[in-house]
Amino acid sequence: MADTLYLSLWYPNLRLAALADKLTAVLGAFAAHGGEARVYAVTVWPIDWSESPALQRVYGHGERGAEPRGAVEEALELLHDDYAYEFQVGWNLWELETGAEFDDRWVREPRLVRVTGYGPLFDEGAYEQDGHIRIDFGSDAPFLEEDANLHAVGARHVEENVRQLVELTAAVEKGSGATARLLWSELGESLAQRLAARLGMGN
């Protein structure tokens, strides 16, 4: 069963004014780990997720995208304790296509990943649980492909996706100076445990 995968990052005594540098570092790490160098879109959320965005801008893919620093500066012109700042950036993974017209086929495709920086008062202090910065990777299917019969090629692609995830996680932690990180899912299951079971490494 597919689940949504997140990475939460925390920083000691983070002041709101320092959030821009942290977000820029996180967004900048994607280009070296299978992602795009430019930001696709930005949304600024006031108060909580039920409110209408205070700012929403789509830059576009590739060269039309915004440099991370520029996108962050534009969003954080609306700097408030109770705002959240969401950025979308492309990240390429191997994904399995299935259908009647072709046998299982692996393609490397971009997905949009959401990187959100939280003001301390947004959604009643959601950062305490979600992190000062949270990355929403979307479905964890490319790291497991639980419904597929993994042959040598498929196993290699899943392994490459996992390695890319691990390297990106380490890079954003180090590059942004995070002191705590947590890779987690909505269902609360451990990706590492599910991956070990998937690849036959469980007890």
Q: What is the pLDDT of residues 66-114, one digit of tens each?
A: 999 999 999 999 999 999 999 999 999 998 887 645 567 889 989 999 9
pLDDT on residue 96: 85
How high is the pLDDT of residue 101? 54
Tokens 């039309």 belong to residue: 64
- Residue 202's pLDDT is what? 41
Tens of pLDDT, residue by residue over 132-157, are 999 999 999 898 877 666 778 888 99
**What mean pLDDT is reported for the chain?**
90
- Can you tell me the distance from the alpha carbon of 17 to that of 12, in angstroms, rounded to the nearest whole number? 14
- For residue 145, what pLDDT is reported? 78
Asked if residue 105 lies in contact with residue 96, where contact means CB atoms within 8 angstroms, the answer is: yes
Residue 146, φ and ψ in degrees, nearest 5: -65, -20
pLDDT on residue 42: 98
